[in-house]
Amino acid sequence: MVERNAWKINGFIGLIIVLALLAAGVVNFITGVGDSESFRIIVGIILFLIGLIISSGLVIVQPNQARVVIFFGSYLGSIRTPGIWMTVPFISSRKVSLKVRNFNSEKLKVNDVDGNPIEIAAVIVFKVIDSAKAVFDVDNYEQFVMIQSETALRHVATKYPYDNFEADDCSLRGNTEEVAAELATELQTRLAVAGVEVLETRLTHLAYATEIASAMLQRQQANAILAARQKIVEGAVSMAQMAIARLEKDGTIQLDEERKMAVINNLLVAIVSDRSAQPVINTGSLY
């Protein structure tokens, strides 16, 4: 079902017509009763009934609201323009809010791609862009948004690890923007059937589950230490190579292979060690 515009006229014009018919019906009825004229009484009753029938087509639309107009089970269209309008009599209408709304998901416990239990939650910003789909294609579009949002969040969370120290790998903690963008794309696909547009998604909570939080914290610390040590070793090797190359280029000191190894060893120990190096002054010969 696709939204379309319902037939309507200005409600104030319709209201004037209704009041005129009601007034004419009352006047004719009272006049007919006073003059004992059955024709006027019948005309008065008919005009009054016509006024009541036409008045059933009056609809008031609030700002940022749509009215879905239904005529004996058939969809006639939607009215989005705020104000009072007159449409077909004997209609029923359903209100659909077009305002931007937030949905805060509950904290969901899921397993990431590595099988680690994590807790995750998100906020979904959405609005209705097709009132006909929101009313006719799903039973309750607000409940539909809630269920599909949690389903999509679970699905996206299982595709990535919670954390990863590899530079080229995507993780939930390290790539929140990318994860939120993928969540929005998947949600838009799921919610299109309900005429809902996803404006923004954001992760509001992300943590390891309580039962493994302590163990995973130790793992994170170990991975961080290992990654830091790798950087330190790379820097230390580069600095040692630079020092040897500079000494040989200046020609101030001639070092054989054994002395080079000793210099490199001392530099690596001084740089890589997690404690301050204790210098040893050699007062004798280098050999």
Examine the domain organization and report whether 82 and 122 are in the same domain: no
Name every residue whose Cβ is closer than 8 Å to that of residue 20 and which is 6 or more positions away in sequence: 51
- What local confidence, expressed as pLDDT, does residue 278 receive? 60
**For residue 27, what are its two tokens?**
């006047």
Asked whether residue 72 is domain-assigned, the answer is yes
- What local confidence, expressed as pLDDT, does residue 243 receive? 73
Look at 11-20, 99-108, 277-286 and tell me which has the smallest mean pLDDT. 277-286
- What local confidence, expressed as pLDDT, does residue 277 receive? 58
- What local confidence, expressed as pLDDT, does residue 172 receive? 86
User: What mean pLDDT do residues 78-86 have?
Assistant: 93
Examine the domain organization and report whether 37 and 117 are in the same domain: no
Q: Domain of 189: which CATH number?
A: 3.30.479.30
How many CA atoms does the CB half-sphere of 258 hold within 13 Å? 2
- What local confidence, expressed as pLDDT, does residue 154 receive? 92
Asked whether residue 152 is domain-assigned, the answer is yes
Q: What value does the mean pLDDT of the chain take?
A: 84
Asked whether residue 4 is domain-assigned, the answer is no
- For residue 102, the cross-strand partners are 125
- What local confidence, expressed as pLDDT, does residue 20 receive? 93
**For residue 273, what are its two tokens?**
């060690």
Domain closes at, from 73, 97, 121: 97
Name every residue whose Cβ is closer than 8 Å to that of residue 193 and which is 6 or more positions away in sequence: 133, 137, 138
pLDDT over threshold 80, residue 281: no
**Report field, pTM of the whole predicted structure over 0.75:** no
Asked whether residue 50 is domain-assigned, the answer is yes
Dump pLDDT digits (tens) for 224-276: 777 777 777 777 777 777 777 776 676 666 666 666 677 667 666 666 666 65
Examine the domain organization and report whether 117 and 164 are in the same domain: yes
Q: Domain span at residue 61?
A: 9-97
Cα distance between residue 110 and residue 122, in whole Å: 13
How open is the CA angle 43-49-53, to the nearest 5 degrees?
A: 145
**For residue 30, what are its two tokens?**
């009272």
Asked whether residue 279 is domain-assigned, the answer is no
Q: Tell me which amino acid residue 108 is.
A: L
Cα distance between residue 157 and residue 206, in whole Å: 10
- What local confidence, expressed as pLDDT, does residue 171 receive? 85
- What local confidence, expressed as pLDDT, does residue 285 receive? 55
- What local confidence, expressed as pLDDT, does residue 270 receive? 67
Domain closes at, from 44, 77, 97: 97
Is the C-alpha dihedral spanning 96, 100, 104, 110 positive or negative?
Answer: positive
Asked whether residue 277 is domain-assigned, the answer is no
Is the C-alpha dihedral spanning 28, 31, 32, 37 positive or negative?
Answer: negative
Domain closes at, from 179, 208, 237: 208
- What local confidence, expressed as pLDDT, does residue 29 receive? 84
pLDDT over threshold 80, residue 64: yes
Assign 280 a pLDDT band (cuts: 50, 70, 90): low
Dump pLDDT digits (tens) for 7-20: 999 989 999 999 99
Asked whether residue 281 is domain-assigned, the answer is no
Cα distance between residue 84 and residue 86, in whole Å: 7
Dump pLDDT digits (tens) for 27-39: 888 888 777 677 8
Dump pLDDT digits (tens) for 119-176: 999 999 999 999 999 999 999 999 999 999 999 999 999 998 887 756 567 888 888 8
Domain count, the chain: 3
Examine the domain organization and report whether 119 and 58 are in the same domain: no
- What local confidence, expressed as pLDDT, does residue 249 receive? 73
